[in-house]
Structure 1
Amino acid sequence: MSRARSLAVVAAVVAALTAWLPAAPAFAHTKLTGSTPAAKGTVSKPITELTLTFSGLIKKAGTTVVVSGPDKVSYSDGAAAAVDRTITQAVRPLPVGEITVRWRTVSSDGHPIQGSFTFTNKAAPPVAASPSPTAAATSSPAPAAAEPTVAAAVPVSRTAAGEGSSPLGWIIAAVAAVLALGGGLVWWRRRRTAA
Protein backbone atom coordinates (compact mmCIF):
# COMPACT_ATOMS: atom_id res chain seq x y z
CA MET A 1 0.00 0.00 0.00
CA SER A 2 2.78 2.32 0.73
CA ARG A 3 4.02 1.85 -2.81
CA ALA A 4 0.54 2.68 -4.21
CA ARG A 5 0.41 5.72 -1.98
CA SER A 6 3.84 6.87 -3.25
CA LEU A 7 2.72 6.45 -6.85
CA ALA A 8 -0.41 8.49 -6.14
CA VAL A 9 1.67 11.32 -4.63
CA VAL A 10 4.09 11.28 -7.59
CA ALA A 11 1.15 11.31 -10.03
CA ALA A 12 -0.42 14.25 -8.18
CA VAL A 13 2.89 16.20 -8.25
CA VAL A 14 3.35 15.49 -11.99
CA ALA A 15 -0.25 16.58 -12.70
CA ALA A 16 0.24 19.77 -10.71
CA LEU A 17 3.51 20.57 -12.51
CA THR A 18 1.92 19.87 -15.89
CA ALA A 19 -0.96 22.20 -15.09
CA TRP A 20 1.32 24.92 -13.67
CA LEU A 21 4.14 24.99 -16.27
CA PRO A 22 2.06 26.23 -19.26
CA ALA A 23 0.62 28.96 -17.03
CA ALA A 24 4.04 30.08 -15.77
CA PRO A 25 4.76 32.52 -18.67
CA ALA A 26 1.56 34.40 -17.80
CA PHE A 27 3.23 35.52 -14.58
CA ALA A 28 6.13 37.04 -16.54
CA HIS A 29 4.41 40.18 -17.85
CA THR A 30 5.69 41.98 -20.93
CA LYS A 31 8.34 44.62 -20.19
CA LEU A 32 10.14 47.39 -22.04
CA THR A 33 13.51 45.96 -23.06
CA GLY A 34 14.98 48.82 -25.09
CA SER A 35 14.41 52.05 -26.95
CA THR A 36 15.89 54.23 -29.67
CA PRO A 37 17.05 56.73 -28.48
CA ALA A 38 18.18 54.78 -25.43
CA ALA A 39 16.97 55.69 -21.95
CA LYS A 40 19.43 58.11 -20.30
CA GLY A 41 21.24 58.39 -23.64
CA THR A 42 22.19 61.50 -25.62
CA VAL A 43 21.15 62.40 -29.16
CA SER A 44 23.35 64.71 -31.23
CA LYS A 45 21.43 64.51 -34.54
CA PRO A 46 17.80 65.48 -35.14
CA ILE A 47 15.36 62.56 -34.95
CA THR A 48 11.94 62.16 -36.56
CA GLU A 49 10.74 59.13 -34.58
CA LEU A 50 11.53 56.93 -31.61
CA THR A 51 10.97 53.21 -31.06
CA LEU A 52 10.20 51.14 -27.97
CA THR A 53 10.91 47.41 -27.92
CA PHE A 54 9.16 44.96 -25.56
CA SER A 55 9.83 41.44 -24.29
CA GLY A 56 6.47 40.15 -25.55
CA LEU A 57 3.72 40.93 -28.02
CA ILE A 58 1.71 44.10 -27.47
CA LYS A 59 -1.67 45.34 -28.69
CA LYS A 60 -2.22 48.51 -30.71
CA ALA A 61 -5.45 49.33 -28.86
CA GLY A 62 -4.63 51.37 -25.77
CA THR A 63 -1.10 52.25 -26.92
CA THR A 64 -0.01 55.86 -26.42
CA VAL A 65 3.36 57.61 -26.37
CA VAL A 66 3.82 61.23 -25.23
CA VAL A 67 7.17 62.85 -25.95
CA SER A 68 7.68 66.15 -24.14
CA GLY A 69 10.53 68.62 -23.86
CA PRO A 70 11.79 70.85 -21.04
CA ASP A 71 8.93 73.22 -21.91
CA LYS A 72 6.42 70.44 -21.02
CA VAL A 73 4.94 70.67 -24.55
CA SER A 74 4.13 67.41 -26.36
CA TYR A 75 6.22 66.79 -29.50
CA SER A 76 4.45 63.55 -30.46
CA ASP A 77 3.34 63.73 -34.09
CA GLY A 78 0.21 61.62 -34.60
CA ALA A 79 -0.71 58.29 -33.05
CA ALA A 80 1.80 55.63 -32.06
CA ALA A 81 2.09 52.56 -34.31
CA ALA A 82 2.30 49.20 -32.49
CA VAL A 83 3.43 46.10 -34.41
CA ASP A 84 4.34 42.80 -32.69
CA ARG A 85 6.86 43.82 -29.98
CA THR A 86 7.62 47.37 -31.19
CA ILE A 87 6.00 50.78 -30.83
CA THR A 88 7.04 53.57 -33.20
CA GLN A 89 6.16 57.19 -32.43
CA ALA A 90 6.80 60.02 -34.91
CA VAL A 91 7.97 63.31 -33.39
CA ARG A 92 8.17 66.94 -34.45
CA PRO A 93 11.60 68.68 -34.19
CA LEU A 94 12.65 68.35 -30.55
CA PRO A 95 14.00 71.21 -28.43
CA VAL A 96 17.46 71.01 -26.88
CA GLY A 97 17.46 69.56 -23.36
CA GLU A 98 15.96 66.66 -21.44
CA ILE A 99 13.23 64.83 -23.35
CA THR A 100 10.69 62.76 -21.41
CA VAL A 101 8.95 59.76 -22.98
CA ARG A 102 5.80 58.48 -21.26
CA TRP A 103 4.33 55.31 -22.75
CA ARG A 104 1.34 53.07 -22.13
CA THR A 105 0.32 49.85 -23.91
CA VAL A 106 -1.39 46.50 -23.38
CA SER A 107 0.45 43.17 -23.41
CA SER A 108 -0.92 40.24 -25.38
CA ASP A 109 -2.47 38.77 -22.19
CA GLY A 110 -4.53 41.97 -21.77
CA HIS A 111 -2.44 43.38 -18.90
CA PRO A 112 -1.94 47.18 -19.20
CA ILE A 113 1.67 48.29 -18.76
CA GLN A 114 3.20 51.75 -18.66
CA GLY A 115 6.38 53.60 -17.86
CA SER A 116 8.61 56.51 -18.70
CA PHE A 117 12.23 57.35 -19.40
CA THR A 118 14.33 60.35 -20.39
CA PHE A 119 17.11 61.12 -22.83
CA THR A 120 19.05 64.27 -23.68
CA ASN A 121 18.70 66.02 -27.01
CA LYS A 122 21.68 68.13 -28.12
CA ALA A 123 20.50 68.62 -31.72
CA ALA A 124 19.01 72.08 -32.19
CA PRO A 125 15.73 72.10 -34.12
CA PRO A 126 15.93 73.60 -37.63
CA VAL A 127 15.32 77.35 -37.76
CA ALA A 128 12.36 78.42 -39.88
CA ALA A 129 13.60 80.11 -43.05
CA SER A 130 13.04 83.87 -43.02
CA PRO A 131 12.12 85.62 -46.28
CA SER A 132 15.28 86.51 -48.21
CA PRO A 133 15.88 90.08 -49.48
CA THR A 134 15.53 88.77 -53.04
CA ALA A 135 12.09 87.34 -52.28
CA ALA A 136 11.05 90.64 -50.65
CA ALA A 137 12.30 92.60 -53.65
CA THR A 138 10.45 90.27 -56.01
CA SER A 139 7.20 90.58 -54.10
CA SER A 140 7.35 94.42 -53.93
CA PRO A 141 6.81 95.07 -57.67
CA ALA A 142 3.66 92.94 -57.69
CA PRO A 143 1.44 95.71 -56.23
CA ALA A 144 3.08 98.25 -58.58
CA ALA A 145 2.33 96.00 -61.55
CA ALA A 146 -1.30 95.91 -60.49
CA GLU A 147 -1.54 99.73 -60.53
CA PRO A 148 -1.42 100.10 -64.36
CA THR A 149 -4.25 97.60 -64.64
CA VAL A 150 -6.39 99.72 -62.30
CA ALA A 151 -5.34 102.92 -64.09
CA ALA A 152 -6.10 101.36 -67.47
CA ALA A 153 -9.52 100.36 -66.24
CA VAL A 154 -10.42 103.94 -65.32
CA PRO A 155 -10.15 105.40 -68.85
CA VAL A 156 -12.09 102.46 -70.25
CA SER A 157 -14.98 103.10 -67.86
CA ARG A 158 -14.82 106.83 -68.58
CA THR A 159 -14.92 106.18 -72.30
CA ALA A 160 -17.88 103.87 -71.88
CA ALA A 161 -19.68 106.47 -69.76
CA GLY A 162 -18.69 109.25 -72.20
CA GLU A 163 -20.14 107.40 -75.20
CA GLY A 164 -23.54 107.17 -73.54
CA SER A 165 -23.55 110.83 -72.55
CA SER A 166 -21.82 112.42 -75.61
CA PRO A 167 -23.67 115.21 -77.52
CA LEU A 168 -23.81 113.00 -80.65
CA GLY A 169 -25.84 110.41 -78.74
CA TRP A 170 -28.28 113.05 -77.55
CA ILE A 171 -28.65 114.50 -81.05
CA ILE A 172 -29.42 111.07 -82.57
CA ALA A 173 -31.96 110.39 -79.82
CA ALA A 174 -33.62 113.81 -80.36
CA VAL A 175 -33.82 113.32 -84.17
CA ALA A 176 -35.38 109.89 -83.69
CA ALA A 177 -37.93 111.34 -81.27
CA VAL A 178 -38.81 114.19 -83.68
CA LEU A 179 -39.20 111.76 -86.59
CA ALA A 180 -41.43 109.49 -84.51
CA LEU A 181 -43.52 112.45 -83.35
CA GLY A 182 -43.72 113.83 -86.91
CA GLY A 183 -44.74 110.46 -88.30
CA GLY A 184 -47.39 110.13 -85.61
CA LEU A 185 -48.80 113.59 -86.41
CA VAL A 186 -48.93 112.83 -90.17
CA TRP A 187 -50.76 109.57 -89.51
CA TRP A 188 -53.19 111.29 -87.16
CA ARG A 189 -53.97 114.11 -89.70
CA ARG A 190 -54.56 111.65 -92.55
CA ARG A 191 -56.92 109.67 -90.43
CA ARG A 192 -58.75 112.78 -89.35
CA THR A 193 -59.11 114.05 -92.91
CA ALA A 194 -60.22 110.66 -94.11
CA ALA A 195 -62.93 110.64 -91.47
Structure 2
Amino acid sequence: METPLELSFADIEPSDEIKSLVAEKVAHLETFYDGITSCHVYIRAPHQSQRKGNLYEVTIEVRVPGDELVVRKHQDDKAVNEHLRVVVRDAFATMVRKLKRWKDQVSGNVKAHDGPLQGKVAEINHDEGYGQIIATDHRLIYFHKNSVVDGSFEALQQGAAVELVVQTGESGIGPQASTVRPIGGLAYDSTSKPSRR
Protein backbone atom coordinates (compact mmCIF):
# COMPACT_ATOMS: atom_id res chain seq x y z
CA MET A 1 0.00 0.00 0.00
CA GLU A 2 1.07 3.56 -0.65
CA THR A 3 0.06 4.65 2.86
CA PRO A 4 0.28 2.52 6.01
CA LEU A 5 -2.79 0.87 7.50
CA GLU A 6 -4.84 3.22 9.68
CA LEU A 7 -6.58 1.47 12.57
CA SER A 8 -8.87 3.37 14.95
CA PHE A 9 -10.69 2.24 18.09
CA ALA A 10 -13.66 4.04 19.69
CA ASP A 11 -15.33 3.16 23.00
CA ILE A 12 -13.06 0.12 23.23
CA GLU A 13 -9.59 -0.51 24.58
CA PRO A 14 -7.13 -1.37 21.73
CA SER A 15 -5.56 -4.83 22.07
CA ASP A 16 -2.42 -6.23 20.47
CA GLU A 17 -4.38 -9.35 19.49
CA ILE A 18 -6.90 -7.36 17.43
CA LYS A 19 -4.19 -5.10 15.94
CA SER A 20 -2.32 -8.21 14.81
CA LEU A 21 -5.49 -9.81 13.38
CA VAL A 22 -6.36 -6.67 11.38
CA ALA A 23 -2.79 -6.41 9.99
CA GLU A 24 -2.95 -10.08 8.96
CA LYS A 25 -6.33 -9.56 7.22
CA VAL A 26 -5.10 -6.46 5.37
CA ALA A 27 -2.05 -8.41 4.13
CA HIS A 28 -4.48 -11.10 2.94
CA LEU A 29 -6.45 -8.47 0.97
CA GLU A 30 -3.26 -7.49 -0.84
CA THR A 31 -2.85 -11.06 -2.11
CA PHE A 32 -6.04 -10.51 -4.17
CA TYR A 33 -5.05 -7.07 -5.46
CA ASP A 34 -1.67 -5.44 -4.93
CA GLY A 35 -2.78 -1.98 -6.09
CA ILE A 36 -4.58 -1.01 -2.87
CA THR A 37 -3.52 2.55 -2.05
CA SER A 38 -4.80 2.76 1.53
CA CYS A 39 -6.87 0.95 4.12
CA HIS A 40 -8.68 2.42 7.13
CA VAL A 41 -10.27 0.16 9.73
CA TYR A 42 -12.58 1.58 12.43
CA ILE A 43 -13.61 -0.58 15.39
CA ARG A 44 -16.30 0.64 17.77
CA ALA A 45 -18.33 -0.71 20.64
CA PRO A 46 -20.97 2.03 20.79
CA HIS A 47 -23.85 0.00 22.09
CA GLN A 48 -24.21 -1.53 25.50
CA SER A 49 -26.75 -4.35 25.23
CA GLN A 50 -28.58 -4.95 28.48
CA ARG A 51 -28.73 -8.64 27.70
CA LYS A 52 -25.34 -9.32 26.20
CA GLY A 53 -22.74 -6.64 26.92
CA ASN A 54 -20.84 -4.89 24.12
CA LEU A 55 -21.84 -5.42 20.50
CA TYR A 56 -19.08 -4.44 18.10
CA GLU A 57 -19.09 -2.51 14.84
CA VAL A 58 -16.34 -2.71 12.22
CA THR A 59 -15.93 -0.44 9.18
CA ILE A 60 -13.31 -1.09 6.51
CA GLU A 61 -12.47 1.50 3.84
CA VAL A 62 -10.17 0.33 1.06
CA ARG A 63 -9.03 2.81 -1.57
CA VAL A 64 -8.15 1.46 -4.99
CA PRO A 65 -7.36 3.44 -8.17
CA GLY A 66 -10.44 5.53 -8.97
CA ASP A 67 -12.68 4.02 -6.31
CA GLU A 68 -13.27 3.40 -2.61
CA LEU A 69 -14.71 0.11 -1.32
CA VAL A 70 -16.50 0.25 2.02
CA VAL A 71 -17.78 -2.53 4.28
CA ARG A 72 -19.71 -1.79 7.48
CA LYS A 73 -20.60 -4.55 9.88
CA HIS A 74 -23.10 -2.78 12.14
CA GLN A 75 -23.89 -3.84 15.64
CA ASP A 76 -27.20 -5.56 16.19
CA ASP A 77 -28.46 -7.93 18.79
CA LYS A 78 -26.86 -11.00 17.27
CA ALA A 79 -24.86 -12.84 19.90
CA VAL A 80 -22.05 -13.42 17.37
CA ASN A 81 -21.29 -9.67 17.38
CA GLU A 82 -20.17 -9.93 21.00
CA HIS A 83 -16.99 -11.61 19.74
CA LEU A 84 -14.78 -8.94 18.18
CA ARG A 85 -12.56 -11.45 16.36
CA VAL A 86 -15.64 -12.88 14.62
CA VAL A 87 -16.91 -9.44 13.56
CA VAL A 88 -13.46 -8.49 12.20
CA ARG A 89 -13.19 -11.80 10.33
CA ASP A 90 -16.68 -11.41 8.80
CA ALA A 91 -16.05 -7.80 7.76
CA PHE A 92 -12.82 -8.74 5.99
CA ALA A 93 -14.47 -11.75 4.30
CA THR A 94 -17.08 -9.36 2.89
CA MET A 95 -14.32 -6.99 1.74
CA VAL A 96 -12.51 -9.85 -0.05
CA ARG A 97 -15.68 -10.57 -2.05
CA LYS A 98 -16.17 -6.87 -2.82
CA LEU A 99 -12.53 -6.47 -3.89
CA LYS A 100 -12.72 -9.52 -6.18
CA ARG A 101 -15.90 -8.15 -7.84
CA TRP A 102 -14.27 -4.74 -8.31
CA LYS A 103 -11.13 -6.32 -9.80
CA ASP A 104 -13.23 -8.41 -12.21
CA GLN A 105 -15.14 -5.30 -13.32
CA VAL A 106 -12.08 -3.18 -14.01
CA SER A 107 -10.29 -6.01 -15.81
CA GLY A 108 -13.34 -6.58 -18.03
CA ASN A 109 -14.18 -10.07 -16.75
CA VAL A 110 -17.75 -9.01 -16.01
CA LYS A 111 -19.77 -8.88 -19.19
CA ALA A 112 -21.78 -5.73 -19.72
CA HIS A 113 -25.03 -6.39 -21.55
CA ASP A 114 -26.10 -3.83 -24.16
CA GLY A 115 -29.74 -4.39 -23.29
CA PRO A 116 -32.04 -6.75 -21.44
CA LEU A 117 -31.34 -10.46 -21.74
CA GLN A 118 -33.54 -12.20 -24.31
CA GLY A 119 -34.37 -15.76 -25.18
CA LYS A 120 -37.12 -18.08 -26.34
CA VAL A 121 -39.39 -20.44 -24.47
CA ALA A 122 -37.80 -23.88 -24.76
CA GLU A 123 -40.38 -25.73 -22.68
CA ILE A 124 -43.65 -24.75 -21.04
CA ASN A 125 -45.95 -26.66 -18.69
CA HIS A 126 -49.24 -24.76 -18.49
CA ASP A 127 -50.81 -27.26 -16.07
CA GLU A 128 -48.05 -26.99 -13.46
CA GLY A 129 -47.28 -23.30 -14.03
CA TYR A 130 -43.63 -23.26 -15.06
CA GLY A 131 -41.34 -23.34 -18.07
CA GLN A 132 -37.77 -22.96 -19.27
CA ILE A 133 -36.17 -20.37 -21.51
CA ILE A 134 -33.05 -20.80 -23.62
CA ALA A 135 -31.40 -17.37 -23.34
CA THR A 136 -29.18 -15.63 -25.90
CA ASP A 137 -26.24 -16.22 -23.55
CA HIS A 138 -26.94 -19.98 -23.97
CA ARG A 139 -28.19 -20.60 -20.43
CA LEU A 140 -31.29 -22.66 -19.77
CA ILE A 141 -33.36 -20.60 -17.31
CA TYR A 142 -36.37 -21.75 -15.28
CA PHE A 143 -39.38 -19.46 -14.83
CA HIS A 144 -42.64 -19.62 -12.87
CA LYS A 145 -45.98 -18.35 -14.17
CA ASN A 146 -45.94 -15.55 -11.55
CA SER A 147 -42.82 -14.05 -13.19
CA VAL A 148 -44.63 -13.34 -16.49
CA VAL A 149 -45.52 -9.65 -16.99
CA ASP A 150 -47.15 -7.76 -19.87
CA GLY A 151 -49.06 -10.82 -20.96
CA SER A 152 -50.44 -14.04 -19.61
CA PHE A 153 -48.57 -17.23 -18.84
CA GLU A 154 -51.33 -19.22 -20.56
CA ALA A 155 -50.74 -17.31 -23.82
CA LEU A 156 -47.03 -18.23 -23.93
CA GLN A 157 -46.13 -21.02 -26.32
CA GLN A 158 -42.94 -22.99 -26.97
CA GLY A 159 -40.67 -20.91 -29.21
CA ALA A 160 -42.10 -17.55 -28.06
CA ALA A 161 -39.52 -14.73 -27.84
CA VAL A 162 -39.16 -13.18 -24.39
CA GLU A 163 -37.10 -10.62 -22.49
CA LEU A 164 -36.07 -11.69 -18.99
CA VAL A 165 -34.35 -10.70 -15.77
CA VAL A 166 -32.42 -13.45 -14.00
CA GLN A 167 -32.31 -13.57 -10.19
CA THR A 168 -28.85 -12.88 -8.82
CA GLY A 169 -28.73 -15.91 -6.49
CA GLU A 170 -29.17 -19.29 -8.14
CA SER A 171 -31.83 -21.60 -6.80
CA GLY A 172 -31.46 -25.37 -6.37
CA ILE A 173 -32.79 -25.84 -9.90
CA GLY A 174 -30.25 -23.49 -11.49
CA PRO A 175 -30.75 -19.98 -12.92
CA GLN A 176 -34.28 -18.63 -12.43
CA ALA A 177 -36.03 -15.66 -14.05
CA SER A 178 -37.64 -13.11 -11.76
CA THR A 179 -39.32 -11.34 -14.69
CA VAL A 180 -40.37 -12.67 -18.11
CA ARG A 181 -41.87 -10.33 -20.72
CA PRO A 182 -43.12 -11.57 -24.12
CA ILE A 183 -41.59 -9.58 -27.02
CA GLY A 184 -41.72 -9.55 -30.82
CA GLY A 185 -39.51 -11.58 -33.13
CA LEU A 186 -35.99 -12.54 -32.11
CA ALA A 187 -33.14 -13.71 -34.28
CA TYR A 188 -32.16 -16.98 -32.65
CA ASP A 189 -29.28 -19.34 -33.40
CA SER A 190 -30.70 -22.85 -33.00
CA THR A 191 -27.26 -24.45 -33.44
CA SER A 192 -26.16 -23.29 -29.99
CA LYS A 193 -26.36 -25.84 -27.21
CA PRO A 194 -27.90 -24.88 -23.84
CA SER A 195 -25.73 -24.88 -20.75
CA ARG A 196 -26.45 -24.49 -17.03
CA ARG A 197 -23.71 -22.01 -16.18
TM range (shorter): under 0.3
Higher normalized strand content (fraction of residues): 2
Higher relative contact order (CA 8 A, sep 6+): 1
TM-score normalized with structure 2 length: 0.27
Higher normalized helix content (fraction of residues): 1
Q: Specify the structure having the higher radius of gyration (Cα).
A: 1
